[in-house]
Amino acid sequence: MYAYDELDRTLINERVSEFRDQVKRRLSGELTEDEFKMLRLQNGVYLQLHAYMFRVAIPYGTLSSKQLRALAHVARKYDRGYGHFTTRQNIQFNWIKLAELPDALADLAEVGIHAMQTSGNNTRNVTSDQWAGVAPGEVEDPRIWSELLRQYTTLHPEFSFLPRKFKFAITASDHDRAAIKIHDIGLRLYKNAEGATGFEVLVGGGLGRTPFIGKTIKPFVHGRDILSYVEAILRVYNQYGRRDNIYKARIKILVHELGIEKFAHEVEEEWQQMRDSALTLDDSVIEEIRSRFSYPAYERLAHMPDELKKAAHDPKFEAWRRNSVFTHKVQGYSIVTLSLKPVGGPPGDATAEQMDAIADLADKYSFGEIRVGHEQNLVLPHVARRDLPVLWKALDKIGVATPNINLVSDIIACPGLDYCSLANARSIPIAQELTRRFANHDTANLIGRLHINISGCINACGHHHVGHIGILGVEKNGEEFYQITIGGRADEDAQMGTLIGPAVPYGEVADVIEDIVEAYLALRARPDELFVDTVKRLGVEPFRERVYATR
């Protein structure tokens, strides 16, 4: 966990007072909506279909149990008893009243939570690997660098009025769980041949209306230079990025139009003027941030304790353990993923009661720490393996032990037309129906790893472009239709999916997905050939034939 210093606490509290005054002036009519809109957006407040939506920042997806309880409190006191974890490791509340928002922010500020960097044309919440700090083989904890960027970019005047929003993601593992290639800037932390720690810097990734995979702009930037290099990128973006057309304002469009070589040249020229400046990081700066992260005092524990051997006879426990428990860097401990994808449930939602219970379990079994993954699940990152059986029972009791992590029913979905003012079509009911169709765990395991991502509009909050199967809601003559893509992926081999054919109506989506999955099972070369690899080997044509032959 990272402990905020006095500067951060002062900033957060001052922000609450400032927003309280702004809301008061808005409600009295002193501020018009035009004047107020940017102010509310800078505090994570959107207007959705039914009400205001309040998006709260969870920097790099790390929460303390105390913070999770505060989120539960906000859900219970100011909302309708639940929250929605997002694909950028944040949480959203859907029914909050503007008049009560300052109180909600004040309650969150008491535990160091705020809503900065969750909206507006500025740098957004820096996201990272939900296994940061505990993943085997990781170079080092990427959250140290995420926190550095958070501190540097928060309220930075040059980054607060960018042409469009700007998103960072950082990973320090070979396997990318942070989807860095679909971010404006993706950073991969590694050690070079000389043993120096630095970053491969990718730029121009993003989804939405014009999707692009990020391109490597510089293969290695030393850690001490990362702030100056990132600032050089943002300066070039600020200078050349389009402000006349919202659809062409993201950095990915600039990179595409200039070409990566020209863009890299511009950045290099900018960087050479500033690289040996005050932005060069002293080791003490990094150490200061590192020192504010607390790490558990792990015990020396057996890899296979008696409790685990005994529980292995329970097939339900074993099904969960095999699916949701992952190798930790410390022997005797595991990383446990909590599924927020129950059969028939809205993906990523958690009730206040679940949040409170998870916070209690984190205190008891995970050194008080919880992580949020961009796949909209939660993680307990430090669970002693001897505690797995008892933890499983507790998680099962509150409905977050569905053994479907990375399987077909572990669906990413945006809120869609049930909530969102931008959406053209519903996402959640499609996801719910699919989880019912694939509720049988044996079938899901037979299918293997398969990511279905659903977005209710082209803005792609549900990351449909990079789903193994992507589902995009569109509107045709007032009816909901859905385009289906296959073969996308968001990991280190990220690529966009390919459209398989004409959009299908709402009522046929689940049937189409079943057809695609059945085709895969018939076509795969071996039982362990993943869906996405079968698509890569065969292309989309066999799937297209299967889906449209009878439609």
Partner 1 sequence: MTSPLEQKKIKLAGPSMVTANRTWDGVVIYRTAQQGWSANLSDAAIVRTSDEARTLLGEATADDVGAIGAYIAPVEVEDGGAVRPGNLREHIRSEGLTIALPA
Binding site for partner 1 (CB under 8 A): 26-29, 32-33, 47-52, 80-82, 95-99, 345-346, 349-351, 417-419, 421-422, 424, 426, 428-429, 432, 457, 475, 478, 480
Toward partner 1, which CB reaches closer, 51 or 301? 51
Distance CA 256, CA 11 (A): 37
Residue 264 half-sphere exposure, CB side, CA atoms within 13 Å? 13
3-state secondary structure at position 190: strand
CA distance 112 to 9: 7
Q: Distance (Å, rounded) from C-alpha 186 to C-alpha 488?
A: 18
* Amino acid at the residue 250: R
DSSP 281: P
CB of 424 to partner 1, least distance (A): 5
Contact between 141 and 293 (Cβ < 8 Å): yes
Distance CA 368, CA 538 (A): 46
C-beta of 419: minimal distance to partner 1 in Å? 8
Q: How far is the CB of 104 from partner 1 (least distance, A)?
A: 13
Whether the Cβ atoms of residue 169 and residue 28 lie closer than 8 Å to each other? no
Between 333 and 419, whose beta carbon lies closer to partner 1? 419
Considering beta carbons, is residue 148 or 420 the nearer one to partner 1? 420
Minimum distance, C-beta of residue 497 to partner 1, in the bound complex (Å)? 22
Report the nearest approach of partner 1 to the CB of residue 507 (Å): 13
CB of 96 to partner 1, least distance (A): 8
Query: What's at 283, amino acid-wise?
Result: D
Amino acid at 107: D
Nearer to partner 1, 129 or 349 (CB): 349
Which lies closer to partner 1 via its Cβ, residue 106 or residue 302?
Answer: 106
488: three-class secondary structure by DSSP? coil
Query: Please, which residue, 478 or 527, has the CB nearer to partner 1?
Result: 478
Q: Which residue has the tokens 């015990």?
A: 299
Nearer to partner 1, 47 or 343 (CB): 47
* 335 strand-pairing partners: 326
Please, which residue, 32 or 550, has the CB nearer to partner 1?
Answer: 32
Taking the least distance from each CB to partner 1, the nearer of 98 and 258 is 98
Q: 522-531 contacts: CB < 8 A, separation 24 or more? A: 527/446, 527/448, 528/448, 530/448, 530/449, 530/450, 530/468, 531/447, 531/448, 531/449, 531/450, 531/468, 531/469
Nearest approach, Cβ of 457 to partner 1 (angstroms)? 7
Closest CA to 388 of 337, 439, 481, 325: 325
CA pair distance 160, 181, nearest whole angstrom: 23
Least CB distance from residue 376 to partner 1, whole Å?
13
Rounded Cα–Cα distance for residues 323 and 387 (Å): 16
Shortest Cβ 304–partner 1 spacing (Å):
37
Residues 337 and 326: beta-carbon distance below 8 Å: yes
Q: Is 188 helix (H, G, I), strand (E, B) or coil?
A: strand
CA distance 114 to 13: 9
Question: Min. distance of Cβ 382 from partner 1 in angstroms?
Answer: 27
By beta-carbon proximity to partner 1, the closer residue of 47 and 286 is: 47
